[in-house]
Structure 1
Amino acid sequence: MNTTNRTLDWFFRGIASAPSFTACWIWGGRPTRDGYGTFGKATRAHRRAYELAVGPIPKGLVIDHLCETRLCVNPLHLRATTQRHNVLRSVRTMPNVNAGKTHCPSGHPYDEANTYHRPAGGRDCRACSRRKRAA
């Protein structure tokens, strides 16, 4: 048995449940503190699943769980994407919640004319900023 086959065999033995081809394949190993499975000492199981099924992860991209299940290693549920897209696609994150807001807390619209986009991310209402400076 060559190295690739041994790796695949070892990987598939780590899957705790795979009821069907399209369902989540739950990684059976002990999860990390943030809920991801590990393969070997330091590799995240979902990243290894993507590499085994698709190929190398393109530089600068992360692996997104389309199913929102961190222990899932089904390659059909994994996609290489930017960290920004990964965070904004998730329904459970504050950046995603904030990105969906159309008005500031004072009711001013977040539109082209009234919105300042901070270099490090985030945005501010120009009308509120002017009012604070005047006060």
Structure 2
Amino acid sequence: MAERFWAKVDKKAPGECWEWQAAKDPDGYGRFMVKKNEPVQLAHRVSFEFSCGAIEIGKVLDHLCRNPPCVNPRHLEVVSQRTNMERGDIAWAAMRRTGRCPKGHDLSIDGQLYLRNGRSYRRCQPCHLASHRERNRRYRERRKKTPPDLTDLVAEK
């Protein structure tokens, strides 16, 4: 099985990304069928387990190189899902790292934290209020427009 797996990898120097050359999911992560009639597995996880051993239950692998098709075990680190998300390139992770929203508002000010379903979330209050104002403005604009004249349609019947 290991021979079949490594045949699908473009191995370069140890410090470079080793690109997965076979099937990939929509996000670019490699997919590998370990055994028939078993679920397909993520190629970087298989690579890590071949090279470093089992991954702890409840842990995930973080691509330190930020390259989804990379299966180089030196570019993978076992971390919690939260750590993996915080290191990512998504908006809330950047807000969490910098303490600022994408428009530059300070998130450390009181009122930037809110509760929903018993969980606390961070949101930018000025951006949230601006979004509500814009949505209300568009709604009022739609209501101002007069409805089409339907008298001609009624008279024809």
Fold equivalence (TM over 0.5): yes
In terms of fraction of residues, the more helix-rich structure is 2
- Which residue is 1:95 aligned to? 92
SS in structure 1 of the partner of residue 62 of structure 2: strand
Whichever residue aligns with residue 10 of structure 1, its letter is R
1:87–1:95 CA contact under 8 A, matched in 2 = no
Aligned residues: percent identity? 28
Tell me the C-alpha RMSD between the 2 structures.
2.9
Counterpart residue number, 1:37: 30
Report the count of equivalent residues: 121
* Structure 2 partner of 1:129: none
SS at match of 2:77: strand
Query: In 2 relative to 1, CA 62–121 (structure 1 residues): closer, same or farther, beyond 3 Å?
Result: farther
CA drift of 1:30 comes to 2.1
Q: Which residue of 2 aligns with 1:8?
A: 2
Residues in 2 aligned to 1:54 and 1:48: alpha-carbon distance in whole angstroms: 10
Q: 1:80 to 1:104 in 2, by over 3 A?
A: closer
Gapped runs of 5+ residues in structure 1? 1-6, 127-135
Does structure 1 retain, via aligned residues, the 8 Å contact 2:99–2:108? no
- Determine which structure has more spread, i.e. the larger CA radius of gyration: 2
Gaps of 5+ in 2: 34-38, 126-157
Aligned equivalent of 2:71: 73
Q: Which amino acid in structure 1 is aligned with residue 121 of structure 2?
A: G
Please say if residues 95 and 101 of structure 2, whose CA atoms lie closer than 8 Å, have aligned partners that are also in contact.
no
C-alpha distance in 1, partners of 2:5/2:31?
10
SS at match of 1:122: strand
TM-score, structure 1 length as denominator? 0.73
Q: 1:125 to 1:11 in 2, by over 3 A?
A: closer
